[in-house]
């Protein structure tokens, strides 16, 4: 097996995106200037998807917007500037403020996450394949914090035409041992590569990642939603403080039931 | 600002590593064949660091080894094949089985994480800078699961000569808005890039990431330990089931104290 050589770069020529803009055309035109090849993966910052979809709300409605995007409160913390809410949002993503973002948007507004990033990724991948006649993948990325680690990394919140999980379970290592639990979340790693070349403040919301053609496949492969782990399989479905409080409440309720 | 073009590839010519091997020489010799440039970042899989340090134990001692590496049990779960323990280890990392690994090692053995990966990264970065006369960074990576997401990504467990956190707090976005909370964990993203090109089964434990010279600096910049978030700042310092059980116990204890 030859090791793949990976190259990645941020694409020039994406203008400021406004509600109603044709994202497929904007991204396609920028890529036409760059040249796009079979097996390329196009990584798009969720922000421009949200902008094209018009998912802008007034900053004064920020807290209401977070509430509307929230399926379940996971943890919250009071700090000097207000309350941080870590929530599970409509997309199954656990994020601070439900992913509602105030950076790189006009003053006085905040931006919600895209409506359905997997669907948008499929639309974009199909359109790019048709326009350029090559098989490409698409990742839609957003920035997320992590438990136990400082700082943020970009993750895939939408994907199409790639294997999001490079499932090695059942394959063997160089010693012939089975890699029983190994399944690299390659879509998230691709989002991370794209973040390194796009930067946060550069105004370049699209990157091309070349050299991972072995991960590219049919447009209708499972999307980034397949990377979401929720429910019983999630050992960290509540913040520690919230879970301790729940335990106290459950204990009080069972005591009250016993004494009735 | 010109967008950086990133290239990354896995390095050929690293032999199977054994206890006592001179890792600096092995990695240096392999890189001499590849060519190394100012601003390159060399990503080394923790496994070969552990092997050179002789951190191999018999598989029959696996559970004892995990216990010895554990500072604090974070969560555990019983499943058909045994118990999975998520623990905080000596290095401050929260990982399944304390990072003790059974893949890519000889049958009947398991591998502990390196003794002090930040120190090893500094040694390696200094030696490579001296040998090649160029300023390079080093990341030592390992594979970790994440709450809320399926699959694993590689993270930096050791680093030297790079900014591990690209702290943008206080800088402004394209709209002149302050990026108040944005601090990409670039060392983790670099580990992710390296994982994409090394693969898990290829026998190529070293990669070069080129094009991120703006992140490379003095060898004694803070290491990967600086990315560890523990204690009160960690809203997920216990598994949900464990925290609920703690809440119940605390409630019983306070009730018992009241009735004494």
The verdict on B68 touching A (C-beta cutoff 8 Å) is no
The verdict on B91 touching A (C-beta cutoff 8 Å) is no
Residue B226: list chain A partners with CB under 8 A. 150
Residue A5: list chain B partners with CB under 8 A. 7-9, 197
Q: Where are the domains of chain B?
A: 7-53+114-228, 56-113
Tokens representing B221 are 């910049």
What's the confidence (pLDDT) of residue B259?
A: 76
CB-based contact A165 B171, cutoff 8 Å:
no
Number of residues written out for chain A: 260
What's the confidence (pLDDT) of residue A203?
A: 84
CA–CA gap between residue A89 and residue B256 (Å, rounded) = 40
Is a pLDDT exceeding 70 seen at residue A175?
Answer: no
Least Cα distance to B156 among B121, B186, B191 occurs for B191
The verdict on B18 touching A (C-beta cutoff 8 Å) is no
Residue ranges of alpha helices (H) inside chain A are: 23-34, 46-52, 62-69, 117-132, 186-198, 240-259
What's the confidence (pLDDT) of residue B61?
A: 86
pLDDT, tens digit (0-9, with 9 covering 90-100), for B28-43: 999 998 889 999 999 9
The verdict on B168 touching A (C-beta cutoff 8 Å) is yes
Superfamily in which the A56-113 domain is placed by CATH: CofE-like domain (3.90.1660.10)
Tokens representing A47 are 């922000």
The verdict on A228 touching B (C-beta cutoff 8 Å) is yes
CB-based contact B103 A179, cutoff 8 Å:
yes
Best of B83, B192, B213, B225 to disrupt the A interface by mutation (most A CBs within 10 Å)? B192
Weakest-pLDDT range from A46-60, B38-52, B184-198, B228-242:
B228-242
Weakest-pLDDT range from A62-66, A236-240, B35-39, B193-197:
A62-66
Residue A9: list chain B partners with CB under 8 A. 3-6
Contacts of B138 (CB under 8 A, 6+ apart): B41, B42, B43, B44, B121, B122, B124, B125, B128, B158, B159, B160, B161, B162
Is a pLDDT exceeding 60 seen at residue A192?
Answer: yes
Facing residues of B41 across strands? B137, B209
Tokens representing B72 are 């604090």
What's the confidence (pLDDT) of residue A173?
A: 67
Contacts of A259 (CB under 8 A, 6+ apart): none
The verdict on B217 touching A (C-beta cutoff 8 Å) is no
The verdict on A102 touching B (C-beta cutoff 8 Å) is yes
Residue B157: list chain A partners with CB under 8 A. none
The verdict on A232 touching B (C-beta cutoff 8 Å) is no
The verdict on A246 touching B (C-beta cutoff 8 Å) is yes
Nearest CA-CA distance, residue A147 and chain B, Å: 6
> What percent of chain B has pLDDT above 70?
93
Residue B175: list chain A partners with CB under 8 A. 104-107
Facing residues of B43 across strands? B139, B207
CB-based contact B200 A190, cutoff 8 Å:
no
Provide mean pLDDT across the span A195-214: 91
Contacts of A78 (CB under 8 A, 6+ apart): none
Provide mean pLDDT across the span A113-128: 98
Nearest CA-CA distance, residue A224 and chain B, Å: 10
Is a pLDDT exceeding 60 seen at residue A3?
Answer: no
CATH class of A7-53+114-228: alpha beta
Tokens representing A119 are 């669907």
Provide mean pLDDT across the span A25-35: 93
The verdict on A154 touching B (C-beta cutoff 8 Å) is yes
CB-based contact B148 A103, cutoff 8 Å:
no
The verdict on A235 touching B (C-beta cutoff 8 Å) is yes
Provide mean pLDDT across the span B232-244: 92
pLDDT band at residue A81, thresholds of 50, 70 and 90?
confident
Nearest CA-CA distance, residue A22 and chain B, Å: 22
Nearest CA-CA distance, residue A43 and chain B, Å: 14
**Higher pLDDT pick, A187 / B81:** A187
Provide mean pLDDT across the span A32-41: 93
pLDDT band at residue A75, thresholds of 50, 70 and 90?
very high
Least Cα distance to A42 among A243, A228, A204 occurs for A204
DSSP B11: P
Is a pLDDT exceeding 80 seen at residue B1?
Answer: no
Nearest CA-CA distance, residue A37 and chain B, Å: 16
Ramachandran angles phi, psi of A2, nearest 5°: -85, 135
Q: Is B53 helix (H, G, I), strand (E, B) or coil?
A: coil
The verdict on B141 touching A (C-beta cutoff 8 Å) is no
CA–CA gap between residue B97 and residue A176 (Å, rounded) = 22
Facing residues of A37 across strands? none
Nearest CA-CA distance, residue A55 and chain B, Å: 18
Tokens representing B151 are 């699959």
Least Cα distance to B184 among B195, B169, B196 occurs for B169
What's the confidence (pLDDT) of residue A1?
A: 44
């Amino acid at each position: 097996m030859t090791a793949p050589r990976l190259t990645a770069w941020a694409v020039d020529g994406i203008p400021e995106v406004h509600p109603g803009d044709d994202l497929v055309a904007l991204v396609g035109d920028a890529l036409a200037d760059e040249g796009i090849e079979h097996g390329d993966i196009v990584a798009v910052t969720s922000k421009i998807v949200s902008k094209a979809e018009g998912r802008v709300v007034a900053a004064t409605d920020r807290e209401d917007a977070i509430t509307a995007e929230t399926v379940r409160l996971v943890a919250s913390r009071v700090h000097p500037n207000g309350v941080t809410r870590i929530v599970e949002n409509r997309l199954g993503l656990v994020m601070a403020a439900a992913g509602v973002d105030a950076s790189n948007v006009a003053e006085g507004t905040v931006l919600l996450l895209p409506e359905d990033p997997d669907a948008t990724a499929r639309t974009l991948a199909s359109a790019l394949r048709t326009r350029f006649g090559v098989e490409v993948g698409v990742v839609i990325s957003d920035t997320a914090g992590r438990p136990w680690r400082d700082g943020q990394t970009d993750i895939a919140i939408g994907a199409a035409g790639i294997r999001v999980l490079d499932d090695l379970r059942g394959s063997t290592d160089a010693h012939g041992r089975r890699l029983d639990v190994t399944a690299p979340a390659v879509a998230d790693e691709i989002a991370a590569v794209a973040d390194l070349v796009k930067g946060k403040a550069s105004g370049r919301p699209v990157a091309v990642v070349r050299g991972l053609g072995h991960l590219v496949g049919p447009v209708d492969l499972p999307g980034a939603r397949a990377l979401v782990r929720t429910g019983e399989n999630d050992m960290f479905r509540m913040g520690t403080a919230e879970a301790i409080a729940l335990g106290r409440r459950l204990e009080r309720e069972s005591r009250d039931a016993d004494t009735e």
